[in-house]
Amino acid sequence: MPYADLREFLGVLEREGQLVRYSAELLPEPDVGALSCAAGELGATAPAVLLDNIKGYKGKKVAVNVHGSWANHALMLDMPKLSSVQSQFFELVNRWERYPGQVEWIEHAPCQEVVIDRDINLYEVLPLFRIHRYDGGYYLSKACCVSKDPEDPDNFDKENVGIYRIQVQGPDTLGYQVATFHDGGVHFQKAERRNAPLPVAICLGNDPMLSFMAATPIPYDQSEYKFAAALKGAPFALTKCLDFDLDVPAFTEYVLEGEVLPGERVVEGPFGEYPGTYSGVRKQLLIKIKKIAHRRDPIFENLYIGRFWTEHDQLVALSTSLPLYKEVKESIPEVKAINAIYQHGLTAIVSTRVRFAGFAKRVAFRVASTPHGATFCRNIIVVDEDIDPFNLQEVMWALSCRVRDQRDIIFIPDTEGSVINPVAAKSGGMDRKLIIDATTHAAPEEELEDIVLIEPSEKVPAFKTLLLNLQKAGAPSTPASQSPACRGPRAGGAK
């Protein structure tokens, strides 16, 4: 793997033409949020941006849109930057089997080169900026938050690394939104029942593979660090926090060490969230920061989240699809792939081999009963194995030509949902599920039996290769001489 931390990954991006350095002066608001949004909208090869001239924060570095395109995502996986989404998905599927990877601890870690333990003012230490105009304040939107199970603190695998939204409030306090069903939320509930604070380390500016895993829903007793190591194929370097028994990435840029306080709730929000809407204002958890450690010349990394397509959508695209696929595949091996890249999996498209009549419904119910799918997957589309679920043209064809009538559409009211989704917010997160069966039906369903699919000529793949090569070379085509059909010497002995 050609990088060990965020800095080295930015070097990879720069060598591949995927990093823009921006040194013209910008206002914190609205410029930095606007630039972050713009970077994410530049498509499949959108670059990361490194800023170092924010007014009032001159010299402090900010990185945005690090995961913000399929090209950057491919480079995170050390794949060619134009790798297809489908190939990145299956590369991750294969690497997933390497779990657990190795971790190692180092002393005198770079992340602790500079320590601030008095007069902490987060607004002066971090180059903060408001992401959306009506956010309640400045948010840490890409922080890896580390905490341990208070009832099993020596179990490394239960130490959680999750990305949760954080609002900077007082000079040394944070509003912390971590849902009750998140592992970090479970840790806090256990601590609060004992009336004890929960130590937490907030790591900013991380190895992109750790951010990827911190955004991935995995079982409670599996380690994000070991998964990051497995996906990278190299040990993941950690160090101990200065004041708490927590493990943090040795090469992270900043570590904010603090405690989530029991019995305290603070007004937090709104924040422009992943459905593209502002969340409400609610009372959330409170973190008190005790100490800050950081590297020399640290890089503050933050993420634009909002109306699609954003760096957040990119970060959680395959990190949502992959665990869903793994869980469903375990009990239904006929499933070929799952595309749940839309708004944290609110819509999921599953391709499967259909073994018998009603099989697609079985698949959909399984997706809807996974831990993530139960909350998030509100639209579940099931297609045949001949459809690439990552290719929306193919999916739309299946919807157009394989959905019959109400027999292929199931609506389940009053299911759990995400309270951040505006259509479920007013009901406190209660939602519904929509299942669309866009597969070809197996016996005893007969209606499509007399349908004959057009099978393209077996020469099509060769012609595709030929045309792509010609396009790449910019050469004029000479079909007669280069046709895949003409494999031998041309008639007439042409030279």
Residues labelled catalytic: 273
Contact window for another protein (CB under 8 A) among 175-183, 212-220, 296-304, 358-366? 175-183
Contact window for another protein (CB under 8 A) among 21-29, 238-246, 302-310, 353-361? 21-29
Q: What is the largest CA-CA distance in the chain?
A: 92
Contact window for another protein (CB under 8 A) among 79-87, 188-196, 390-398, 461-469? 188-196
**Site residues (CB under 8 A) for another protein, limited to 23-42:** 27-30
- Each residue 135-154 as x (binds another protein by CB under 8 A) or -, in order, gives -xxx----------------
Q: Smallest distance from the beta carbon of 123 to another protein, in angstroms?
A: 3
Query: Which residue from 180, 393, 400, 481 is in contact with another protein, where contact means CB under 8 A?
Result: 180
Q: Is 442 exposed, middle or buried (0-12, 13-18, 19+ CB in 10 A)?
A: middle
Using rule CB under 8 A, residue 309 touches another protein: no
d(CA 65, CA 304): 7
List the structure tokens of 332: 């239904």
d(CA 158, CA 427): 32
Nearer to another protein, 109 or 420 (CB): 420
Nearer to another protein, 105 or 181 (CB): 181
Q: Say which amino acid occupies 66.
A: V
Among residues 174, 177, 185, which one has the least CA distance to residue 137?
A: 174
Angstrom distances, CA of residue 306 to CA of 5, 6, 49, 197: 26, 23, 18, 32
Using rule CB under 8 A, residue 270 touches another protein: yes
d(CA 292, CA 255): 6
Angstrom distances, CA of residue 445 to CA of 358, 436, 450, 454: 9, 17, 12, 21
Provide the sign of the torsion angle of the four alpha carbons 332, 337, 341, 343, taken in this order: negative
Using rule CB under 8 A, residue 259 touches another protein: no
Nearer to another protein, 195 or 406 (CB): 195
- 3-state DSSP call for residue 62? strand
**Site residues (CB under 8 A) for another protein, limited to 362-401:** none
Using rule CB under 8 A, residue 278 touches another protein: yes
Using rule CB under 8 A, residue 237 touches another protein: no
Nearer to another protein, 33 or 249 (CB): 33
Using rule CB under 8 A, residue 185 touches another protein: yes
Give per-residue burial for 168-200: e unless 16+ CB within 10 Å, then b: bbeebbbbbbbeeebbbbbbbebbbeeeebbbb
Query: Which residue from 118, 119, 263, 493 is in contact with another protein, where contact means CB under 8 A?
Result: 263
Q: List contacts with another protein (CB under 8 A).
A: 27-30, 55-60, 121, 123-125, 130, 133-134, 136-138, 167-171, 175, 177, 179-180, 185, 188-189, 192-195, 262-263, 265-268, 270, 278, 280-285, 428
